[in-house]
């Protein structure tokens, strides 16, 4: 019996008139928790009642404290008939259950009614007395902190990152219960809201228990979603990353760590025995040896075993004993082994984090994803959600095996989603295969963390680009070259990931939002036939989405995608695919070649002319984009990029001895003299359309940038003005003559126009960047497409932004000063990461490479895929997909996609901020942002998670301004309620805000509409840090004595 | 075309130009056309569809802001729109601003439903959209409700027809500054616009200036001495001094009755402006006269109400001069 919940109802204001006769209201309040209810007195004839109630006390189990919401109902007293409800407030008291968060909830809450919206406000005070029972964590998981933020929260330090936690709970959806036929819409909506609130609480408690079992104290990257499965029920599921976090309170605690010189570390690997096995604790450990040698970039094998074979994991010792690999090889092997053993204990080595402590991420393999089509069954027993669990377990297993195929033992930036239409459900999971540093993963390494270790010695920031897989046994075809940065390791030509750009990555120019959009018509069908149809379409959609992304990336002259999110949405008669990512030019990866168009009928003169016209347009676009995004890689780098192919003699030897590929001859051919461009073959009108559509994407107007990652690569001088927004559009397709092409165009226009509108609306903020642009597509009805966008516009200082071409030294300094915040949390990294000077200054690099590269026609060779390899890639892709595609009755079909990876090193001007122009902390203003930080401010406290679910319904749609008026009002109300809850917790901002669901249904004929919205985020307290700013920017070198957390330096 | 198209910012986006168009009562399509004509499309390289979508969305927001704007003190407390205080002030200021042409038409009329029905005439006459007329009319009613004491100045007579709104506003401002409770008691806030009853009672003491023949003659002597040779029509002034002097003294002295307050402007015009005008005095003469007329009282031996006189006459002099035109 470990808790006492105390509630006081103070006053109301702006209440609606409930009695027409008197134009007044006789209001009273019911306070309910669990099965206990208290009432206040009736406050007669007032729209601004003062109740000043006593403290209502609920004595409850902490289990209930976690599960139940506090429910406050405001009613109008009526002597003769039933009392009328004015509205309700649900308060999640979870933030009061752990010590570091809020201690009291007190403030004005909007009184919400699912039919009328917000109707006045009520002032409430809530407190919880937890009894000091040492066992109190046994029954519940009170005390485990939850964060939506997908990185280590700003005022904490990760001691251990334990790993994946997941849970789901199911129930019947009240909307579909028999009783729903006889109750009012209001009662039905409230039953649903309450149920989801309860289920969320239960889910969170259960996840908390798992965290405690793992001996963690927090969940980071907590993502909770609900699936409205209609007749078959309601699923609430969540995933997250269990961690042990330490609050950063005294800066002194980590200062000593700064003294360890990282430069020394550099030398260590050279003293190591190059034989990886000497470091492994046991030969039985399956080791995938990293080939760090210089084998030719094109000698890949076309083994299409992406997931089911463990071939790539078999030890291959003795390989790659070239001279170049001293640094990487043994180290990697050791690392791999440690990581592996740390990870092997875990069922799913997944991490929902997208940004990491420095040194955590060693290599990135590429995107792994899995989808499965399921037919929904009624959930017969809510207490045993095994089916859904099994479905997800299956998908996760697949993701895990994909990662293995990429030579990775972990998946980062992991997320799961569903799309449901009638009884068909597509489950999707995706993430980025990666090799991690075991340091943060193991129990018992806590102390070890305080000493710099071998594995910190990563090649100056480009390490994450280096391929983790065996280049002779690659799971998919790719071009490899030597890292443009360290010149020692191989990197792919293109890298796709679902994570944020690592802080230390060296980027040239700015990034940009890249989207692939796709529609496919599908016959209406029932049950299995439907599932099969969808299953058959999926692989082609995945493939096309990938091709579009690749083409658009090339068109932008960039070579890597971050934050990739591919959403496949299922409707009655179509499938939609929408992929969003942020393109960047990673300095470590080779310069992308252009796009070359080839026609099928070469002898037709006018056709040829047309082709060459298109070609010119494409070339112009690429040139324009280079200028727009300031992509000016150092000129000499061309040579470097061209150079890494070893001498022919050597290469052929390697091929003979080690390649299992049967295409040896072809590949040798390929490596010679061919154009380096990515070839698009135009063999029919479809292809022509595709090329056209490539060119229709309009760049943002000048002064605007956009990305879907946390911050924009290449911009680092944010000012403090932010504007978070949600925009929703629905278009109706004319049902006549719907072709795939017409659909594509409609969808493409919808997205492009939406972006254009955003740029126009926010033009007063120029220069600014739209960050964390998050598109979601849904198909609410046959002919309707709905796109919802949430993002934040952040202004930046143009003058500083112009200085994009800096010397490395300057960049380094800048990084040193700007990374402050990150570094604070991981003091150890301070030394190893920000202090060492660039080990490979460009000039030196060039000299080296120039000398070692004689005999190669380097000048011409760029790096992209030429036609034949493109074809290769396609065919193997298809093969792979074919292999995977199998229909399972009442079960699944899965397609799997594993994409490239790539490179560089670090400059990462993340999180820089210029001094905020005004420190206007206007009372009552609550900022909201999808980012994990607030520009120009420092988060001093996390108050708890905000996770709110609302339903709004109307039977007077026209009167409320039609669908737009209705939804506009509702979203504004949702924002208002989020802000009110944050303010009541004592906070002034929500970070990592996300609108997870916005389900909108309309029935204009009946003048009705309904909408469900689910949002979440972290309530925080922030303070402007203008003074700290000045200090830190003036003294970048003082970086090693970080001052911020305690605020010592300000004085 | 979009079935649904909305944008909701955490901080409510206010486009000042669109706000003005909305206040001016333009329909969305008219607003889109006007914006397009302003060259905004060329500047921003946006499409007409974008402009349309943007305008519709702003109009929707303004429409929803209407209700809190009807009760301005509630605006900072409402939770639905997060608007920085400076923006709130702008919203309220612009919302309650009015077109002088419109207000002039309404001045003197009852703020009744009948008048509201006639707004289309006013709209036609002034060229202000009916929508905007309605908003301004409703604003007036709201303000009127709050400041009921000022009702008097809102009724009028034919004689006042020649006055502009600015004339009324100027005089009202002078009286608020000098004759209200708020003017003398800094404890009270500026909105305390009740006339200072005590003062009006005391002003009756000034009647002695016309009632006491000795005083009147003395006063007349002082004024005439000062003005001799300086006025175009000196003799009429000398002959009419008693009548002229009665005006300023009586206008203030009768304000203790509500009815007289209501007729203040009529009194101002009838008792001073019209007599002067019938003599065809140039404005300069009137100014000279009023200056010396008020100043010379200070030289009257044994007159005890100097401060009272200044407070009363200072305002009246300003009003007379302002109202003295064709």
Confidence of residue A290 (pLDDT cuts 50, 70, 90): very low
Whether B311 and B190 share a structural domain: yes
- Report the residue of A757, A780, A923 to disrupt the B interface, i.e. the one with the largest count of B CBs within 10 Å: A757
pTM of the model: 0.74
Q: Kindly determine whether residue B80 and residue A976, on different chains, have CB atoms separated by under 8 Å.
A: yes
Q: Tell me: the pLDDT tens digits for A930-945?
A: 999 998 889 989 999 9
Q: How far apart are CA A584 and CA A707, in angstroms?
A: 10
Q: Tell me: the pLDDT tens digits for B227-237?
A: 887 877 777 78
Whether B299 and B229 share a structural domain: yes
Task: Verify cis geometry, omega within 30 degrees of 0, for the bond prior to A767.
Answer: yes
Q: Kindly determine whether residue B2 and residue A118, on different chains, have CB atoms separated by under 8 Å.
A: no
Q: B168 in a domain, yes or no?
A: no
Whether B47 and B120 share a structural domain: no
How far A109 CA lies from chain B's nearest CA (Å)?
Answer: 9
Residue B272 has pLDDT above 60, yes or no: yes
Mean pLDDT, residues A160-165:
90
- Report the residue of B8, B36, B77 to disrupt the A interface, i.e. the one with the largest count of A CBs within 10 Å: B8
How far A781 CA lies from chain B's nearest CA (Å)?
Answer: 12
Q: Which residues contact A315 (CB under 8 A, 6 or more apart)?
A: A283, A286, A287, A288, A289
Whether B203 and B234 share a structural domain: yes
Determine the residue of chain A that is closest to B74 in CA distance.
Answer: A14
Whether B183 and B287 share a structural domain: yes
Q: Kindly determine whether residue A756 and residue B47, on different chains, have CB atoms separated by under 8 Å.
A: yes
In this complex, which of A728, A757, A922 lies closest to B85 when CB atoms are compared? A922
Q: Of the candidates B303, B194, B311, which has an alpha carbon nearest to the alpha carbon of residue B258?
A: B194
Partners of residue A85 on adjacent β-strands: A75
In the three-class reduction of DSSP (H, G, I as helix; E, B as strand; rest coil), residue A703 is classed as coil
Q: How far apart are CA A988 and CA A1005, in angstroms?
A: 43
Identify the pLDDT of residue A321: 31
Residue A672 has pLDDT above 50, yes or no: no
Q: Tell me: the pLDDT tens digits for A464-522?
A: 888 887 776 666 666 788 888 777 788 888 899 999 998 888 888 899 999 999 999 98
Q: How far apart are CA A119 and CA A84, in angstroms?
A: 13
Q: Which residues contact B91 (CB under 8 A, 6 or more apart)?
A: B14, B19, B65, B69, B75, B83
- The two tokens of residue A150 are 């997908």
Q: B36 in a domain, yes or no?
A: yes
Mean pLDDT, residues A533-560:
90
Q: Of the candidates A337, A491, A313, which has an alpha carbon nearest to the alpha carbon of residue A402?
A: A313
Rg (C-alpha) for chain A, rounded Å, is: 29
In this complex, which of B6, B56, B79 lies closest to A967 when CB atoms are compared? B6
Q: Of the candidates A405, A411, A401, A539, which has an alpha carbon nearest to the alpha carbon of residue A475?
A: A405
Q: Of the candidates A926, A1000, A1008, which has an alpha carbon nearest to the alpha carbon of residue A970?
A: A1000
Q: How is A15-63 classified by DSSP, letter by letter?
A: PPP-BTTTTB--EEEEEEETTEEEEPPPB-S-SS-B-----EEEEE-HH
Residue A872 has pLDDT above 70, yes or no: no
Q: Kindly determine whether residue A110 and residue B50, on different chains, have CB atoms separated by under 8 Å.
A: no
Whether B113 and B190 share a structural domain: no
Identify the pLDDT of residue A288: 32
In this complex, which of A723, A759, A967 lies closest to B9 when CB atoms are compared? A723
Q: B158 in a domain, yes or no?
A: no
Q: Kindly determine whether residue B3 and residue A732, on different chains, have CB atoms separated by under 8 Å.
A: yes
**Dihedral, CA of residue B234, residue B235, residue B238 and residue B239, to nearest 10:** -150
- The two tokens of residue B268 are 């101002």
Q: Kindly determine whether residue A725 and residue B8, on different chains, have CB atoms separated by under 8 Å.
A: yes
How far B27 CA lies from chain A's nearest CA (Å)?
Answer: 15
Q: B201 in a domain, yes or no?
A: yes
Q: How far apart are CA A991 and CA A940, in angstroms?
A: 12
Q: Which domain holds residue B305?
A: 179-323
Whether B111 and B40 share a structural domain: no
Q: Of the candidates B154, B73, B64, B165, which has an alpha carbon nearest to the alpha carbon of residue B110?
A: B154
CB of A47 closer than 8 Å to CB of A15 = yes
Residue B54 has pLDDT above 90, yes or no: yes
Q: Kindly determine whether residue A729 and residue B8, on different chains, have CB atoms separated by under 8 Å.
A: no
Q: Angle of helix B213-227 relative to helix B283-296, nearest 10 degrees?
A: 130
Mean pLDDT, residues A951-963:
91
Residue A841 has pLDDT above 60, yes or no: no
Q: Of the candidates A978, A980, A1013, A972, which has an alpha carbon nearest to the alpha carbon of residue A992?
A: A978
Q: Kindly determine whether residue A723 and residue B44, on different chains, have CB atoms separated by under 8 Å.
A: no
Residue A1024 has pLDDT above 50, yes or no: yes
Residue A864 has pLDDT above 50, yes or no: no
In the three-class reduction of DSSP (H, G, I as helix; E, B as strand; rest coil), residue A99 is classed as coil
Kindly state the DSSP code that residue A914 receives in the 8-state scheme: P
In the three-class reduction of DSSP (H, G, I as helix; E, B as strand; rest coil), residue B168 is classed as helix
Q: B169 in a domain, yes or no?
A: no
Q: Kindly determine whether residue B64 and residue A968, on different chains, have CB atoms separated by under 8 Å.
A: yes
In this complex, which of B50, B74, B81 lies closest to A757 when CB atoms are compared? B50
Please tell me the total count of domains within chain B: 3
Q: Tell me: the pLDDT tens digits for B104-141?
A: 888 878 888 888 888 889 999 899 999 999 999 999 88
Q: Which residues contact B170 (CB under 8 A, 6 or more apart)?
A: B318, B319, B322
In this complex, which of A724, A730, A761 lies closest to B54 when CB atoms are compared? A761
Mean pLDDT, residues A376-393:
76
Q: Which of A567-571, A998-1002, B72-76 has the lowest mean pLDDT?
A: B72-76
Q: Which residues contact A937 (CB under 8 A, 6 or more apart)?
A: A720, A916, A989, A1022, A1023, A1024, A1025
Q: Tell me: the pLDDT tens digits for A46-90?
A: 889 999 999 999 988 877 888 888 999 999 988 777 888 899 999
- The two tokens of residue A959 are 């009167």
Question: Which of B132, B151, B170 lies at the terminal end of a domain, its last residue?
Answer: B151
Q: Which of A605-619, A816-830, B34-48 has the lowest mean pLDDT?
A: A816-830
Q: How is A415-450 classified by DSSP, letter by letter?
A: EEEEEEETTEEEEEEEEEEEEE-GGGTSTT-TTGGG
- The two tokens of residue A552 are 């658009």
- With a threshold of 0.90, tell me whether the complex ipTM lies above it: no
Identify the pLDDT of residue A336: 55
Identify the pLDDT of residue B30: 94
Q: How far apart are CA A435 and CA A466, in angstroms?
A: 10
Q: Which residues of B sit within 8 Å Cβ distance of A?
A: 1-11, 13, 44-47, 49-51, 53-54, 56-57, 60-61, 63-64, 74, 77-82, 84-85
Confidence of residue A851 (pLDDT cuts 50, 70, 90): very low
Identify the pLDDT of residue B158: 66
Partners of residue B139 on adjacent β-strands: none
Residue A774 has pLDDT above 90, yes or no: yes
Q: Which residues contact A814 (CB under 8 A, 6 or more apart)?
A: A716, A806, A907, A909, A912, A1036
> How many residues in total does chain A contain?
1051
Kindly state the DSSP code that residue A82 receives in the 8-state scheme: P
Confidence of residue A901 (pLDDT cuts 50, 70, 90): very low
Q: Which residues of B touch A968 (CB under 8 A)?
A: 6, 8, 57, 60-61, 64
Q: Kindly determine whether residue B5 and residue A729, on different chains, have CB atoms separated by under 8 Å.
A: yes
Task: Give the CA distances from residue A290 to residues A106, A319, A408, A643, A864, in Å, rounded to whole numbers and listed in that order.
Answer: 57, 9, 11, 21, 24
Whether B76 and B21 share a structural domain: yes
- The two tokens of residue A1004 are 């204009």
CB of A70 closer than 8 Å to CB of A126 = yes
DSSP H or E segment with residue A728: strand A718-732
Q: Which residues contact A650 (CB under 8 A, 6 or more apart)?
A: A294
Residue A179 has pLDDT above 90, yes or no: no
Mean pLDDT, residues A37-44:
92
Identify the pLDDT of residue A821: 38
Identify the pLDDT of residue A275: 38
Whether B80 and B103 share a structural domain: no
Mean pLDDT, residues B32-38:
93
CB of A753 closer than 8 Å to CB of B23 = no
Identify the pLDDT of residue A525: 83
In this complex, which of A727, A756, A969 lies closest to B50 when CB atoms are compared? A756
Q: B5 in a domain, yes or no?
A: no
Residue B45 has pLDDT above 50, yes or no: yes
A684 backbone dihedrals φ, ψ, rounded to 5°? -160, 180
Confidence of residue A881 (pLDDT cuts 50, 70, 90): very low
Q: Which of A175-184, A263-272, A681-690, A922-931 has the lowest mean pLDDT?
A: A263-272
Partners of residue A585 on adjacent β-strands: A508
- The two tokens of residue A194 are 């309450």
Q: How far apart are CA A516 and CA A511, in angstroms?
A: 16
Q: Kindly determine whether residue B46 and residue A964, on different chains, have CB atoms separated by under 8 Å.
A: no
Size of interface A-B (CB pairs under 8 A): 116
Confidence of residue A712 (pLDDT cuts 50, 70, 90): confident
Q: B160 in a domain, yes or no?
A: no
Q: B156 in a domain, yes or no?
A: no
- Average per-residue pLDDT in chain A? 72
Residue in this structure with the two tokens 């449901």, named with its chain if needed: A420
Q: How far apart are CA B133 and CA B137, in angstroms?
A: 6
Q: Kindly determine whether residue A757 and residue B8, on different chains, have CB atoms separated by under 8 Å.
A: no
Whether B269 and B290 share a structural domain: yes
Question: Which of B85, B110, B133 lies at the terminal end of a domain, its last residue?
Answer: B85
Mean pLDDT, residues B47-57:
93
In this complex, which of B53, B57, B79 lies closest to A121 when CB atoms are compared? B79
Q: Tell me: the pLDDT tens digits for A315-339?
A: 333 333 333 333 344 455 555 555 5
Whether B109 and B192 share a structural domain: no
Question: Which of B51, B85, B119 lies at the terminal end of a domain, its last residue?
Answer: B85
Whether B56 and B110 share a structural domain: no
Mean pLDDT, residues B81-103:
91
Q: How far apart are CA A916 and CA B221, in angstroms?
A: 71
Q: Tell me: the pLDDT tens digits for B189-216?
A: 555 667 788 888 888 888 888 888 888 8
Q: Kindly determine whether residue B80 and residue A972, on different chains, have CB atoms separated by under 8 Å.
A: yes
Confidence of residue A777 (pLDDT cuts 50, 70, 90): very high
Kindly state the DSSP code that residue A727 receives in the 8-state scheme: E
Residue B147: CB atoms within 10 A of its CB come to 12
pLDDT greater at residue A398 or residue A67: A398
Mean pLDDT, residues B134-159:
71
């Amino acid at each position: 019996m470990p808790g006492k919940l105390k509630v006081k109802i103070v006053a109301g204001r702006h209440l609606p008139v409930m009695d027409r006769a008197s134009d007044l209201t006789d209001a009273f309040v019911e306070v309910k928790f669990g099965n206990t209810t208290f009432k206040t007195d009736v406050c007669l004839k007032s729209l601004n009642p003062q109740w000043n109630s006593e403290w209502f006390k609920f004595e409850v189990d902490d289990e209930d404290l976690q599960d139940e919401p506090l429910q406050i109902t405001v009613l109008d007293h009526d002597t003769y008939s039933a009392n009328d409800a004015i509205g309700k407030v649900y308060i999640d008291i979870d933030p009061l259950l752990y010590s570091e968060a809020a201690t009291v909830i007190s403030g004005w809450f909007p009184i919400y009614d699912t039919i009328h919206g917000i109707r006045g406000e009520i002032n409430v005070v809530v407190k919880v007395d937890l009894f000091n029972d040492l066992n109190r964590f046994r029954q519940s998981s009170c005390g485990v902190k939850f964060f939506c933020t997908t990185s280590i929260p700003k005022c904490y330090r990760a001691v251990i990152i334990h790993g994946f936690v997941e849970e789901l709970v199911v129930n019947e959806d009240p909307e579909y219960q028999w009783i729903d036929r006889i109750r009012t819409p209001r009662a039905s909506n409230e039953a649903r809201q309450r149920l989801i609130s309860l289920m969320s609480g239960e889910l969170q408690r259960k996840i908390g228990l798992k965290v405690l079992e793992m001996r963690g104290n927090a969940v980071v990257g907590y993502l909770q979603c609900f699936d409205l499965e209609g007749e078959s029920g309601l699923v609430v599921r969540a995933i997250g990353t269990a961690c042990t976090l330490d609050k950063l309170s005294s800066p002194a605690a980590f200062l000593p760590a700064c003294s360890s010189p990282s430069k020394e570390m550099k030398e260590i690997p050279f003293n190591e025995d190059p034989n990886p096995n000497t470091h492994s604790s046991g030969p039985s450990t399956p080791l995938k040896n990293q080939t760090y040698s210089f084998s030719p970039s094109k000698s890949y094998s076309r083994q299409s075993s992406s997931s089911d074979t463990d071939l790539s994991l078999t030890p291959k010792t003795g390989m790659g004993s070239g001279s170049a690999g001293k640094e990487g090889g043994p180290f990697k092997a050791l690392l791999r082994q440690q990581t592996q053993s740390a990870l092997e204990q875990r069922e799913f080595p997944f991490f929902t984090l997208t940004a990491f402590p420095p040194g955590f991420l060693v290599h990135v393999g590429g995107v792994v994803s899995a989808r499965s089509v399921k037919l929904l069954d009624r959930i017969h027993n809510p207490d045993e959600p095994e089916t859904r669990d099994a479905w997800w377990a299956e998908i996760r297993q697949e993701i895990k095996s994909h990662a293995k195929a990429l030579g990775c033992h972990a998946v980062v930036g992991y997320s799961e989603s569903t799309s449901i239409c009638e009884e068909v459900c597509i489950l999707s999971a995706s993430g980025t295969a990666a090799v991690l540093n075991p340091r943060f993963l193991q129990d018992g390494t806590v102390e070890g963390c305080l000493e710099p270790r071998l594995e910190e010695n990563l090649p100056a920031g480009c390490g994450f680009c280096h391929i983790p897989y065996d280049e002779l046994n690659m799971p998919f075809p790719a071009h490899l070259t030597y890292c443009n940065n360290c010149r020692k390791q191989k990197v792919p030509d293109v890298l796709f990931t679902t994570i944020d750009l690592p802080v230390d990555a060296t980027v040239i120019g700015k990034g940009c939002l890249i989207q692939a959009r796709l529609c496919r018509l599908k016959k209406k069908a029932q049950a299995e036939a439907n599932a099969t149809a969808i299953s058959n379409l999926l692989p082609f959609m995945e493939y096309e989405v990938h091709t579009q992304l690749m083409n658009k990336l090339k068109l932008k002259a960039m070579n890597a995608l971050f934050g990739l999110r591919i959403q496949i949405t299922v409707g009655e008669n179509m499938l939609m695919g929408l992929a969003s990512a942020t393109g960047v030019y990673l300095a470590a990866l080779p310069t992308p070649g252009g796009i070359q168009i080839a026609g099928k009928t070469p002898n037709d003169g006018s056709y040829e002319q047309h082709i060459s016209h298109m070609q010119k347009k494409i070339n112009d676009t690429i040139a324009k984009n280079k200028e727009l995004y300031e992509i000016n890689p150092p000129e000499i780098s061309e040579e470097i990029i061209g150079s890494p192919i070893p001498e022919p003699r050597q290469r052929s030897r390697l091929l003979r001895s080690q390649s299992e590929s049967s295409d040896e001859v072809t590949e040798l051919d390929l490596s010679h003299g061919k154009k380096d461009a990515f070839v698009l073959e135009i063999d029919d009108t479809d292809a022509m359309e595709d090329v056209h559509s490539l060119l229709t994407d309009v760049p943002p107007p000048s002064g605007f940038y956009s990305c879907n990652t946390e911050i924009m690569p290449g911009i680092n001088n944010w000012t403090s003005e932010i504007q978070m927004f949600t925009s929703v559009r629905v278009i109706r397709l004319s049902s006549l003559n719907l072709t795939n092409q017409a659909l594509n165009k409609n969808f493409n226009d919808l997205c492009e126009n939406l972006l254009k509108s955003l740029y126009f609306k926010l033009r007063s903020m120029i220069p600014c960047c739209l960050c964390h642009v998050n598109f979601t597509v849904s198909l609410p009805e046959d002919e309707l497409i709905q796109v919802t966008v949430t993002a934040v516009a952040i202004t930046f200082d143009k003058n500083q932004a112009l200085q994009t071409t800096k010397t490395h030294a300057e960049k380094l300094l800048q990084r040193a000063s700007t990374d402050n915040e990150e570094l604070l949390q991981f003091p150890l990294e301070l030394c190893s990461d920000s202090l060492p000077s660039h080990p490979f200054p460009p000039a030196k690099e060039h000299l080296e490479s120039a000398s070692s590269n004689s005999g190669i026609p380097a000048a011409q060779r760029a790096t992209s895929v030429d036609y034949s390899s493109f074809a290769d890639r396609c065919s193997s892709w298809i093969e792979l997909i074919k292999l995977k595609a199998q229909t399972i009755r009442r079960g699944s079909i899965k397609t799997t996609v594993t994409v490239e990876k790539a490179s560089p090193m670090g400059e990462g001007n993340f999180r820089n901020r210029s001094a905020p122009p005004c420190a206007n902390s206007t009372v009552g203003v609550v900022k909201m942002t999808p980012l994990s930080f607030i520009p120009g401010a420092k988060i001093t406290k996390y108050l708890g998670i905000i996770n709110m679910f609302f339903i709004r319904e109307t039977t007077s749609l026209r009167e409320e301004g039609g669908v737009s008026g209705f939804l506009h009002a509702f979203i504004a109300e949702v924002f208002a309620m989020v802000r009110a809850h944050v303010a009541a917790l004592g906070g002034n901002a929500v970070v990592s805000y996300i609108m997870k669901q916005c389900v909108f249904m309309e029935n204009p004929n009946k003048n009705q509409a309904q909408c469900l919205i689910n949002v979440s985020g972290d309530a925080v307290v922030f303070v402007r840090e203008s003074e700290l700013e000045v200090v830190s920017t003036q003294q970048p070198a003082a970086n090693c004595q970080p001052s911020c957390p305690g605020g010592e330096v300000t004085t | 075309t979009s079935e649904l198209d909305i944008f909701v910012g955490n901080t409510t986006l206010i486009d000042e130009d669109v706000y003005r168009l909305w206040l001016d009562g333009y329909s969305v399509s008219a607003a889109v056309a006007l914006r397009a004509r302003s060259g905004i499309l060329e500047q921003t390289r946006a499409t007409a569809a974008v402009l349309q979508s943007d305008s519709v969305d702003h109009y929707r927001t303004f429409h929803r802001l209407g209700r809190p704007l009807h009760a301005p003190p509630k605006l900072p407390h409402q939770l639905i729109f997060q608007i920085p205080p400076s923006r709130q002030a702008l919203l309220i200021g612009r919302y309650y601003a009015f077109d002088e042409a419109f207000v002039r038409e309404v001045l003197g009329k009852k703020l009744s439903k009948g008048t509201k029905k006639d707004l289309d005439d006013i709209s036609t006459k002034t060229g202000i959209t009916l929508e905007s007329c309605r908003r301004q009319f409703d604003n007036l009613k709201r303000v009127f409700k709050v400041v009921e004491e000022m009702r008097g100045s809102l009724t009028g007579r034919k004689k006042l027809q020649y006055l502009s709104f600015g004339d009324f506003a100027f005089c009202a401002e002078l009286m608020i500054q000098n004759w209200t409770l708020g003017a003398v008691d800094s404890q009270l806030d500026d909105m305390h616009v009740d006339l200072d009853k005590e003062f009006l009672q005391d002003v009756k003491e000034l009647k002695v200036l016309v009632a006491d023949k000795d005083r009147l003659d003395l006063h007349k002597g002082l004024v005439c001495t000062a003005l001799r040779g300086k006025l175009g029509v000196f003799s009429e002034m000398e002959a009419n001094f008693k009548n002229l002097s009665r005006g300023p003294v009586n206008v203030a002295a009768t304000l203790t009755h509500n009815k007289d307050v209501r007729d203040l402007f009529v009194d101002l015009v009838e008792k001073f402006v019209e007599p002067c005008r019938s003599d065809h005095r140039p404005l300069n003469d009137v100014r000279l006269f009023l200056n010396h007329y008020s100043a010379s009282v200070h030289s009257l031996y044994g007159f005890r109400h100097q401060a009272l006189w200044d407070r009363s006459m200072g305002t009246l002099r300003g009003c007379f001069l302002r109202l003295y035109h064709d």
